[in-house]
Amino acid sequence: MNLTDNRKLLRDYTDRDDEAAFRELVERYIDLVYSAALRRVSGNAVLAEDVTQTVFTDLARKARSLHEVEFLGGWLHRHAGFVASNLLRSEQRRQIREQQAVQMNALLDSPDALWQQLEPVLDETIDALAPSDREAIVLRFFERQDFRSLGTALGISEDAAQKRVSRALDKLRDLLVSRGVTLSLVLLTTFMAGKVVKAAPSGLAGKVAGIALAGVATGTGLSLVFEKLANSLLFKTSFVAIVAIAAVTLLFRNHSASTREMARQGDARAAAVLSPRVQTSAPLVPETMAASAPLASGTPAAVSNLTLTIVSADTEQSVPNVELDYWLWSGSEVQHKHSLRATQHGTCEVPVPDGTTELLLVSQIDGFADTRLEWHPDQGQTIPSQYTLHVARAVPIGGRVLDSAGNPVSGAEIGFNNQVDPAVETRVQADDFAWPFWITAKTDAEGRWQINRISKEAVQSIYGSASHPDYVGSSTIWAGRDPAAEKELLAGTHTFYMGHSVTVRGMVKDESGQPVANAKVLVGNVAESGRREATNQYDGTFSIAGCKPGKNTITAQAKGYAAVTLESECTDASEPVQFVLRKGNVLKLQVVDPDGHPIAKARVWLNTFRPLNNDTKTSVPPVQVDFNGQTDADGLLEWDSAPEGELAFDVSAERFMRSGGINIQADGSEHEITLQPGLTISGTVRDAVTGDPVPQFRLITGWPMWDPPHNVTNSHWSSIDRFWMSFAGGKFQHVYEEPVLMGTPNPGFVFKFEAKGYAPFITRNVLASEKNVQFDVLLTPTPDKAVTVLLPNGEPAAGVAIGLVTPGAGLRLVPGGFASDNNPGGGVVKTDNQGQFQLPPDSTLTRVVAAGSEGFAEATAAELVNQPVIHLQPWGVLQGVYVSNGQPVPDCPLLFEYGGDQYDAISCDFLAFQTKTGSKGEFVFPQVPPGNHQIALLVPENDMGRQVWMHRPLQNVTIQSGKNAILTIGSSNSMTASP
């Protein structure tokens, strides 16, 4: 049966009154409808014919309204159930219950008896399935589609279609169990394949089509059938023989009670059908989510549905077949599912179990921007039962991947991510994808690639690179810091260059010199994206391609042995690396609270980063083992393959403060680790004038940071989006478990409360040791002030980046704007189409900096209150020559640094404002802000084997708007400016 032809036949009938097309539809679907009707009326063939007649009469009348029905067979199956249900009256069902009660025992001992149990409730149960599952069942077993045709109809692969049918059968069986019908999945599949569709009586199709067409012509329909049935003796008497659904349900409940009693007495076969799962008519929770649903007395959590409708933002038309990456949190438990998919009509049923604390969805389909949806019920937000997701059109980005010799690299993977702006007002929907999502593509034979899943706005904040198993990965590009790279990506011309790689070879042996087989060998650090790893051969040898040349850490580990990490200089001519593994050491830990009570499910993580030795700045590399253990119910953890020497651990647990830098020797003795309780802050946020709860507000987390030059303590606001929390209803509560900032002990926290139309409120410093702190915050209503930004020609400047400079804001200027990633203060907004932005009533706001492609300007907050206009001025240009001892210095890295002494508030981005001198010592910074700034020399230094860059100031420089500054550094230090 061709599904496309079915829709064409329906249109031929409605558009051209083609009765032959309608008769063909009846011929195709008569068996499906008759079989469903026959089961609904418990095998009464005459009544089933009447139901079938009504269904097709209704099809003829409603055909025009059914053009958009995706699967006609599904509609006919559901409508057959509707018509049959209208024919069954409650009194007749009562009569059937009485008659069927005495027949129960005869139904339990054979497949035929099981079919008799299943038949009366099958169609009703199918109707209770989610639409996608119901469609799969009807297409496969009622319309008899093979998996290839079914997959084509659903827009999925043949393999995916087979899996979808399998999952739908699982869910159907679970619902049948809840209705008292217990049978194996194999038997259910057999019944579905062989018994659900029976041949309709000969000639019925022709008779049905004729009456249906006549009914449409005369305006008759269901009323005609009822009139016919009302005058039929058969209609008046046939209910005596009908098997009612309620009777079967009642009798099988009694059967379930008897099997529970058998199980209590030790009958294993009865135990197999004991305690059927409690279900509702809503779609089931995906299997991967089962662990996250909170349980009460052993009962699975109830599940509600979020009905998501996905439409195009520009046309409001539905977007079909969108895939959804699905993450769900219930407390600390997280579940992930990749396979949620919208229907052809752009709808998707998203399961939401009771107890959900966070729901995260990201839409994914070529041609539209990946869009993020996020709800936090634990912060007072409500997950709606329905939501319309407007997805923006994507802009294609692309380029090529070449090796170091300029040859195309086929099969390279390109991956992009971006960072969520923590200052975004609404967290429900955003055109960014961020962690844990990556958008990837593969290069073709010519090394070309393209991605069409990112919005134009989000392109400004993406970062990514190219990788290949046989090459060293490319350098990472940051579009927000490199306007040239952003333009190349949008033009499809950006080139990633892969590096030359080497192959690392070696041998793994034990202490007796015998080969250790199946050892895992890692080249690089555990946390390094460019690491390479493999399993060695039975003779102990290994060979790993694609490794970066130079000094590498190489690690070997095997079951029962302690891992060993070596440092080796890797070249094309390197000698094989020799590993000798010894028996593993035993590490025993117990994690407790301050009262000595054990902490279960505490995470113990081995810190594999290089420790600092302050005396020599050198150290033995830490063993690179990905160990992340969890304590048992007694707070105990044991590791029998721990490496030798002192190991550094980080330990964390829900509602406790994380503890880092715990050094322990795996010596077989038990080591106790005490975790302090987390810091819980809670309270209310109200309007200072009315006393009413503020309906929507944000809680921003920061840390007090000492500013030595100014002898003050500023607030350093987090750049991590999870520390920017939105709450609803005027109440908040959160437990902090991270007392460490930037690797140093943190003296405490500071919190900022913000709401639209109110002045922000900043708390006192709060120590982590305070454990429980309550704030009753009063926010003062203060309207924002509109500020207009104008281009140099006086026209409104739309889309210009506005930096709101406060102590600790950490804004980073790039040519034409601000870096869009990792802004600790989140203090970057953009002007609207009229060139306006809202100046927030923040008393800590010191300066406002406007930066766009056509100009730059800055003003104090006080100036803008009195005169709310900013006039952009053209950027300046800085070029010059760097000499030493009268000779030009080639290939020398220079950095342009933003003037002023508030480096923690605003600075030039390190990557965007650096350059190298040419062969004659020449350099140029083509777009620099006006004002007093500085040129610095970048000096590489070795820090624990890593290269770091030290800034050595060279010379101050004054940049004038729209002018070219020419500077000579190193001799006369002269500078001239020209228009």
Q: What is the pLDDT of residues 929-952, one digit of tens each?
A: 999 999 999 888 765 455 667 888
Q: Which of 46-55, 221-230, 525-534, 814-823 has the lowest mean pLDDT?
A: 221-230
**What is the per-residue pLDDT for 156?**
81
Nearest to 701 by CA among 766, 776, 653, 757: 766
| 217 vs 651, more confident | 651
- Name 136's Cβ contacts closer than 8 Å, sequence gap at least 6: 150, 154, 161, 164, 165, 168
Strand-pair partners of 896: 935
Question: What average pLDDT does the segment 528-535 reach?
Answer: 88
Question: Of 174-183, 288-297, 445-454, where does the model show the most confidence?
Answer: 445-454
**The pLDDT value given to residue 912:** 85
Decide if 467 contacts 474 (C-beta within 8 A).
Answer: yes
pLDDT value, residue 830: 87
pLDDT of residue 166: 86
**Percent of the chain, pLDDT > 70?**
79
pTM: 0.61
Tell me what pLDDT residue 70 has: 67
The region that residue 367 occupies, defined by phi over 0 for left and psi between -120 and 50 for alpha, beta otherwise, is left
> Model confidence at 94, in pLDDT bands (50, 70, 90)?
very low
Q: How many CB atoms lie within 10 A of CB 279?
A: 17
pLDDT level of residue 12 (50, 70, 90 thresholds): confident
Q: Which DSSP symbol is given to 162?
A: H
545-556 residue pLDDT tens: 999 999 999 999
Residue 132 neighbours by CB under 8 Å, 6+ apart: 164, 168, 341, 343, 349
Mean pLDDT of 765-783: 91
Confidence of residue 348 (pLDDT cuts 50, 70, 90): very high
SS3 for 209-234, per residue? Answer: HHHHHHHHHHCCCHHHHHHHHHCCHH
Of 157 and 619, the one with more pLDDT: 157
| Reported confidence tier of residue 493, pLDDT bands at 50, 70, 90 | very high
Query: If pLDDT is split at 50, 70 and 90, which confidence band does 421 have?
Result: low
At residue 219, the pLDDT reads 45
- The average pLDDT across 469-479 equals 91
Q: What is the CA radius of gyration of the chain?
A: 35
pLDDT at residue number 826: 56
pLDDT at res. 142: 85
**pLDDT at residue 250, rounded to an integer:** 31
Task: Look at 374 and 218; give whichever has higher pLDDT.
Answer: 374
Going by pLDDT thresholds of 50, 70 and 90, the confidence category of residue 189 is confident
**Lowest mean per-residue pLDDT among 148-157, 302-311, 357-366, 899-908:** 899-908
Angle at 151 between CA 183 and CA 162, to 5 degrees: 30
Distances in Å between the alpha carbon of 627 and those of 455, 602, 605, 631, 643?
38, 13, 6, 13, 11
| Helix, coil or strand: residue 338 | strand
Cα dihedral sign, 255-261-263-267: negative
Cβ atoms 553, 526 nearer than 8 A: no
Contacts 24+ apart (CB under 8 A), 460-463: 460/486, 460/817, 460/820, 461/418, 461/419, 461/421, 461/432, 461/820, 461/821, 462/416, 462/417, 462/418, 463/416, 463/417, 463/418, 463/821
Average of per-residue pLDDT across 680-684: 96
Phi/psi for 961 (5° steps) reads -60, 130
Which pLDDT value is given to residue 886?
Answer: 84
Q: State the Cα–Cα distance between residues 624 and 485, nearest whole angstrom.
A: 35
Helix (H) or strand (E) holding 113: helix 111-127
Local confidence band at 586 (pLDDT 50, 70, 90 cut-offs): very high
What's the confidence (pLDDT) of residue 929? 93
Confidence (pLDDT) at 410 = 95
Torsion sign over Cα 101, 106, 110, 115: negative
Distance from the first to the final alpha carbon of the chain: 77
Mean pLDDT score, 843-850: 88
